[in-house]
């Protein structure tokens, strides 16, 4: 079987053709649209990129290894987390003794499609090796999943999910 890569990224698997929108792979596929100032995700994007489905999807299984850590300080991670927008997001990074955090590798992926919305956050905060604080995260009502990623100087990737229900 052969894979065919075009702007829509078609893949031929066992005689079936699957298409993935190329926007899923772009740095910020929605930059062409306009968002009200300060919003991380619009209500239309939450539907289009399956925020609800992403919230309900089980977390990916990851092998345990020596990797940097991402700790979510705010909102305080609890089961069935409900917040009112705008809300604060405070994240702390912890490196291992043999490497340091590379803030330039920080990424935020949204929903089931894992759309990169990093630029929407870094527009308001400076990400440092210690982490960041975003005081006014604006996300429309509903259930949302944000996947946070960062690498250390040994290219080890840490990943942490923030699942919130906005009222």
CATH number, domain at 161? 2.60.40.1220
Q: Are residues 49 and 83 in the same domain?
A: yes
pLDDT of residue 157: 93
83 and 6 fall within a common domain: no
Pairing of strands 82-83, 157-166: parallel
CA dist., res. 118 & res. 31, Å (int): 11
Domains of the chain: total: 2
Rounded-to-integer distance, Cα 134 and Cα 125, Å: 6
Pairing of strands 115-116, 87-94: unpaired
- Do 68 and 128 belong to one domain? yes
Mark whether 160 and 80 lie in a shared domain. Answer: yes
Same domain, 7 and 43: no
| pLDDT per position as a tens digit, 77-135 | 777 789 999 999 999 999 998 999 999 999 999 999 999 999 999 999 999 999 999 99
Same domain membership, residue 126 and residue 64: yes
pLDDT of residue 38: 78
Q: Over the stretch 12-53, which tens digit does the pLDDT of each residue have?
A: 333 333 333 333 334 444 444 577 777 888 888 888 887 877
Tell me the mean pLDDT in the region 142-153. Answer: 95
d(CA 28, CA 123): 12
Are 7 and 65 within one domain? no
36-52 exposure pattern, b = at least 16 Cβ within 10 A, e = fewer: eeebbbbeebbebbbbb
* Range 55-73 average pLDDT: 77
pTM, two decimal places: 0.67
> 59 pLDDT exceeds 80?
no
Tokens 């909102």 correspond to 75
Whether 20 and 49 map to the same domain: the answer is no
Residues 6+ apart with CB under 8 A from 128: 103
Question: 26 or 161: whose pLDDT is higher?
Answer: 161
State whether 15 and 47 are in the same domain: no
Check whether residue 119 and residue 93 sit in a common domain. yes
21 and 41, same domain (yes or no) = no
**Could you list the residue range(s) of the whole structural domain that residue 13 is in?**
1-26
Give yes or no: residues 145 and 64 share one domain. Answer: yes
């Amino acid at each position: 079987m052969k894979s065919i890569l075009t702007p829509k990224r078609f893949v031929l698997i066992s005689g079936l053709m699957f298409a993935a929108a190329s926007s899923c792979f772009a740095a910020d596929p929605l930059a062409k649209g306009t968002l009200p100032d300060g919003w991380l995700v619009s209500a239309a994007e939450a539907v289009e990129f399956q925020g609800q489905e992403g919230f309900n999807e089980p977390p990916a299984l990851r092998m345990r290894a020596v990797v940097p850590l991402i700790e979510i300080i705010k909102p305080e991670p609890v089961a069935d987390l409900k917040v009112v927008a705008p809300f604060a997001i405070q994240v702390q990074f912890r490196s291992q003794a043999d490497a340091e955090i590379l803030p330039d590798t920080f990424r935020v992926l949204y929903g089931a499609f894992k759309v990169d919305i990093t630029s929407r956050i870094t527009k308001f905060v400076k990400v440092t090796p210690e982490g960041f604080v975003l005081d006014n995260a604006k996300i429309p009502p509903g259930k949302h999943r944000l996947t946070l990623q960062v690498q250390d100087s040994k290219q080890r990737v840490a990943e942490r999910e923030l699942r919130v229900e906005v009222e």
